[in-house]
Amino acid sequence: MLETAHQNQSDRRSTPRSNPRETANAEFLTLVGSRVKKIRKEKKLTRKVLSEHSGVSERYLALLESGQGNVSIALLRQVAQSLDVEPEILISNSAPVNAESRLLLGLLAGLTSSDRHRFKDQLLKELRNSPVSRSFRIALIGLRGAGKTTVGQRLSNILNIPFVEIDREIEKLADAPLSEIFITYGQEGYRNLEKTCLENVLGNGNNCIISTGGSIVQDHKVYDLLLSTCYTVWLKASPKEHMDRVVAQGDLRPIAGNNKAMDELKNILLKRQSGYEKADLTVTTDGKAPGFIASQILADRTLRKLIQHTN
């Protein structure tokens, strides 16, 4: 037994550990190569023709497409120009842009700023009026203590798609906790970070569960973006339930030295209620277990249709 254990330890010591940086670089080169190959085939170009247009050898293009070519910025620019795409399309971590999307981006680039805004508003309106056309993303909204994190994680496990908390994304982007962000940047700075993080999540094009900040409904532009691109669910709870949950989590700030905390909470809920009511679905959570709430959400007919449409 001791001899076996010693041998196992020896084997572990002799097995080289993978370098995270090298692994990341290899994954990046594979991503770039797959993008080049995909766009080349979309445009019905042989590797020989792309080689002639770009000035990059056919052999090197083969290495690049297989993820083995450590291409320089200059050569990548030549390949991108020959494929008639921006270099960023080949190296972005976001979902690859297809031919139709690139056409739309080209058309948008030729519009004036005011025309682009009108186009965006019209597109968001169309998406909002047709929930089935939206990607399979579920956004949970509601006051702090509504259960967005717990229910969101439960939905994530059931549907096997990522769970994203916008507030955590904001903290990662700013490299600071929310309390410091509000002190340093103020409410407006937080709103800008919130918008950026939401756009980043949406830009990935992935199905996911999103937990939003409780005040997102007060920023109309950001909230309209959320409503237009996600299936939104308001987790509705009574003010007392909200307060009890927050305190149960060990956060006594809502009541510490504040005898009117409950009245303030009721006022906040009243101010935001009209915004929350715009959600696709409202689920009352008082006295309900997270698993039951998740099952109620997934039982909604419109959401089931959306899931079926995207599978």
Residue 107 maps to a domain: no
184 CB contacts (<8 Å, ≥6 apart)? 176
| DSSP H/E element including 158 | helix 148-159
pLDDT value at 169 more than 70: yes
pLDDT value at 152 more than 90: yes
CA distances from 254 to 153, 179, 217, 257, 258 (A): 25, 14, 21, 9, 7
Q: Which pLDDT value is given to residue 162?
A: 92
Count of the separate structural domains present in the chain: 2
Q: What is the DSSP string of 13-80?
A: HHSPPPPHHHHHHHHHHHHHHHHHHHHHHHTT--HHHHHHHH---HHHHHHHHTT-----HHHHHHHH
Residue 276 maps to a domain: yes
Strand-pair category, 208-211 with 231-236 = unpaired
Q: Is 55 left (phi over 0), alpha (psi -120 to 50) or beta?
A: left
61 plus 143 within the same structural domain: no
Identify the band that residue 15 occupies on the pLDDT scale cut at 50, 70 and 90: very low
Residues 300, 253 contacting (CB under 8 angstroms): no
Residues 240, 255 contacting (CB under 8 angstroms): no
Residue 122, classified by CB atoms within 10 Å of its CB into exposed (0-12), middle (13-18) or buried (19+), is exposed
Residue at which a domain ends, from 92, 109, 136: 92
Tokens 């692994």 map to which residue?
Answer: 23
How far apart CA 15 and CA 176 sit, in angstroms, is 38
Residue 105 maps to a domain: no
Q: Which pLDDT value is given to residue 203?
A: 76
262 plus 164 within the same structural domain: yes
Residue 1 maps to a domain: no
Residue 237 maps to a domain: yes
CA distances from 168 to 171, 174, 187, 190, 228 (A): 5, 10, 16, 12, 22
Residue at which a domain ends, from 42, 73, 92: 92
| DSSP H/E element including 283 | strand 281-284
Question: Looking at per-residue confidence, does 32 or 91 come out higher?
Answer: 32
Residue 113 maps to a domain: no
Q: Is 274 helix (H, G, I), strand (E, B) or coil?
A: helix
204 plus 259 within the same structural domain: yes
142 plus 269 within the same structural domain: yes
Identify the band that residue 252 occupies on the pLDDT scale cut at 50, 70 and 90: very low
Average pLDDT over residues 274-285: 92
pLDDT value at 89 more than 90: no
170 plus 79 within the same structural domain: no
Average pLDDT over residues 135-159: 89
pLDDT digit string (tens) for 213-222? 988 999 888 8
pLDDT digit string (tens) for 184-220? 888 888 888 998 898 888 877 778 999 999 889 998 8
pLDDT value at 269 more than 80: yes
pLDDT value at 270 more than 50: yes
Question: Looking at per-residue confidence, does 257 or 261 come out higher?
Answer: 261
32 plus 128 within the same structural domain: no
φ/ψ of residue 282, rounded to 5: -115, 130
Q: Which pLDDT value is given to residue 142?
A: 92
173 plus 264 within the same structural domain: yes
52 plus 185 within the same structural domain: no
CATH number for 205: 3.40.50.300
pLDDT value at 163 more than 90: yes
Q: Which pLDDT value is given to residue 130?
A: 58
How far apart CA 113 and CA 43 sit, in angstroms, is 30
How far apart CA 303 and CA 283 sit, in angstroms, is 13
Average pLDDT over residues 70-97: 77
Q: Which pLDDT value is given to residue 97?
A: 56
Q: Which pLDDT value is given to residue 119?
A: 77
CATH number for 65: 1.10.260.40
Q: What is the mean pLDDT of the chain?
A: 80
Strand-pair category, 137-141 with 163-165 = unpaired
253 plus 298 within the same structural domain: yes
Q: Which pLDDT value is given to residue 164?
A: 94
Kindly report the number of other CB atoms within 10 A of residue 5's CB atom. 9
Average pLDDT over residues 239-257: 64
129: its two tokens: 């009026």
pLDDT value at 39 more than 80: yes
Percent of the chain with pLDDT over 70: 78
pLDDT value at 88 more than 80: no
pLDDT value at 9 more than 80: no
Residue 188 maps to a domain: yes
Residue ranges making up the domain that contains 253: 121-310
166 plus 204 within the same structural domain: yes
Q: Which pLDDT value is given to residue 8?
A: 45
- The DSSP letter of residue 269 is H
Residue 254 maps to a domain: yes
pLDDT digit string (tens) for 100-136? 666 676 777 777 888 877 777 676 666 655 555 555 7
Q: Which pLDDT value is given to residue 11?
A: 46
284 plus 198 within the same structural domain: yes
Q: Which of 229, 191, 192, 193 is nearest to 210 (CA)?
A: 229
pTM of the entire structure?
A: 0.59
Question: Looking at per-residue confidence, does 3 or 62 come out higher?
Answer: 62
Identify the band that residue 155 occupies on the pLDDT scale cut at 50, 70 and 90: very high
178 plus 230 within the same structural domain: yes
